[in-house]
Amino acid sequence: MPNYEKLPTMNGDQIRVVVETPRGAAAKFSYDPKTGVFEFTRPLPVGNTYPYDWGFVPSTIGEDGDPLDGLIIHQAVSAPGVVINCDLLGALRIKQKDSEGSEFRNDRYVFRPHKQDSPDKPAMEERVPEDLRREIEQFFQSSVLGTGKTIRLKGWRDATEASALLRKGMKSFARKKRRVR
């Protein structure tokens, strides 16, 4: 049974992202490392679907204790468990409050498949275009409706700044791994 959470973050110069919920899904799926399966988590609010693949960056930990979250901007069809080698485009900084009232950062990283993984597609800009940023923000705002969570958007980070935040998540994972031994 694979444990995707422990898969190395990097594959050469690319960042691995494990798809949990494929684009077009009207429900959120989550990977359960204890069972090694992808489980139904909850439906999205009526009329919402994931605009792109949604998943996590393996061997990272965010402030919420889970692997860092990632949205992969591409038009291909995938499925839960697919690992895509990606280039980092940026990150949307988010302050989240859960249903118990705990507040923490829960940034959303934005990726694109590395060119060799999608050679038939023209290269996307090296950043997230403004109009797409607004659409992504709107999706994340609406995706938490009915969950008891609230989010506050704290601005965008370019690929360089997002990379530093991602490395912080990798270091947090390494520290936790050393403590568990």
Domain of 153, in residue numbers:
4-180
**How many other β-carbons are positioned within 10 Å of the β-carbon of residue 9?**
19
We report the CATH number of the domain holding residue 119 as 3.90.80.10
CA distance 135 to 71: 13
CA distance 172 to 90: 20
pLDDT category of residue 3 using cuts at 50, 70 and 90: confident
CA distance 104 to 96: 5
115-133 pLDDT, tens digit each: 765 554 444 567 899 999 9
How many structural domains compose the chain? Answer: 1
The rounded mean pLDDT for the chain is 92
84-120 pLDDT, tens digit each: 999 999 999 999 999 999 999 999 999 999 876 555 4
With contact defined as beta carbons under 8 Å apart, do 3 and 32 qualify? Answer: no
With contact defined as beta carbons under 8 Å apart, do 113 and 86 qualify? Answer: yes
57-84 pLDDT, tens digit each: 999 999 999 999 999 999 988 999 999 9
Per-residue confidence (pLDDT) for residue 147, from 0 to 100: 93
